[in-house]
């Protein structure tokens, strides 16, 4: 998948690269996602953000207009995303809900979300969209634990 990750700190780069194992086409941006940096998302399928990126309805509309359909936040919290509006647009939203909130743990959860989307599988507990899915809520923690060992 073609992906851009915003608000990447220096110490996160190596962790994401390790977790990704050159599977996805990742572009890492140190700046936050806003109207001035939106152009980095053009041609990407997925946007990865942090809890420092605020996705209001205006920014979500722009992401939808340029073809982004999936968003992963590298956090448990969704307070920085207008989830209701994202759902109206049909955007898929995922977070990183597992107990391991270390930098490497978040990186592996993020890449696991990408892998599952790429394989057209539900993200289980990480899925935050309202789309109908018979697999929604299925724990994927076992897969995550296998990948991180």
pLDDT tens digit sequence for 75-86: 999 999 999 999
Domain boundaries, given as residue ranges, for the chain: 2-147
Q: Distance (Å, rounded) from C-alpha 84 to C-alpha 62?
A: 16
Nearest to 72 by CA among 10, 128, 140: 128
Q: Are 78 and 60 in contact (CB under 8 A)?
A: no
SS3 (DSSP) at 140: coil
- pLDDT, one tens digit per residue, over 89-137 is 999 999 999 888 999 999 999 999 999 999 888 787 788 876 665 555 5
Q: Is the pTM of this model over 0.75?
A: yes
Decide the pairing of beta strands 46-49 and 25-28.
unpaired
Q: What is the dihedral of CA 28, 30, 97, 127, to 10 degrees?
A: -60
The CATH number of the structural domain formed by 2-147 is 3.40.50.720
Q: Partners of 120 in the beta sheet?
A: none
């Amino acid at each position: 998948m073609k992906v851009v990750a915003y608000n990447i700190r220096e110490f996160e780069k190596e962790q994401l690269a390790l977790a990704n194992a050159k599977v996805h086409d990742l572009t890492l941006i140190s700046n936050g996602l806003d109207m001035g940096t939106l152009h980095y998302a053009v041609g990407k399928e997925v946007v990865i953000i942090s809890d420092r990126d605020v996705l209001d309805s205006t920014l979500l509309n722009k992401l939808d207009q340029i073809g982004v359909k999936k968003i992963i936040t590298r956090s448990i919290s969704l307070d920085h995303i207008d989830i209701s509006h994202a759902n109206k647009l049909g955007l898929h939203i995922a977070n990183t809900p597992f107990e391991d909130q270390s930098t490497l743990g978040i990186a592996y959860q993020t890449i696991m979300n990408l892998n599952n989307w790429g394989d057209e599988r539900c993200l289980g507990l990480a899925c935050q969209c309202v789309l109908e899915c018979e697999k929604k809520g299925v724990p994927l923690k076992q897969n995550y634990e296998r990948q991180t060992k």
